[in-house]
Amino acid sequence: MHVWRPPPEIRVKALGLPWRGRRLLVAEVYTDAGRLKGVRPLGGSVAFGERAEQALLREFEEELGLTVRILDPPFIMENLYVHEGSPGHEVLFLFPVALPPGPLDTLESVVFHEDSGAPCVARWYDLEDLDRDGGPELFPVGLKARLLAGGGP
């Protein structure tokens, strides 16, 4: 199992929010022990000199081999968190996106690889099943409330 820790610096990330009805395609996040901890939107870091929109398109192409369409301007969240005892700090650009017609129309999950080579699973989750007893958390904290208040389907 791949062990990941947040770097000790502020990271800027561009994340996509693709919907299938009320279901959001998100990557699963696991503890070091292999337990599902939560889920997060797909995307990745913005490189120096790169616009958030470009980073988002690049990340979906690299990870899933898909060209997504950005539907609206992003909303921005600051994410201060702790993962396995290590603090993390991110500024997130969250974009509503549309996936192209194709395999993800019928698949419930897809395996992809991070830049590090670590395998990841993205799965469609109903927004109502996240952040509740027995269900995984939606990261960053506060994203579900933001989506329910107007950033979701």
| Structural domain contains residue 33 | yes
Structure confidence at residue 135 as a pLDDT band (50, 70, 90): confident
Top pLDDT among 84 and 100 is at 100
Supply the DSSP symbol for 53. Answer: H
| Structural domain contains residue 130 | yes
- Distant-in-sequence, close-in-space partners of 148: CB < 8 Å, separation ≥ 6: 127
Indicate if the pLDDT at residue 152 is higher than 80: no
| Structural domain contains residue 2 | no
Top pLDDT among 137 and 104 is at 137
| Structural domain contains residue 1 | no
| Domain region containing 84 | 10-151
The model scores a pTM over 0.85: yes
Supply the DSSP symbol for 145. Answer: H
Considering its fold, how many domains does the chain have in total? 1
What are the distances in angstroms from CA 115 to CA 63, 108, 136, 144?
A: 8, 23, 24, 27
CATH number at residue 73: 3.90.79.10
| Structural domain contains residue 3 | no
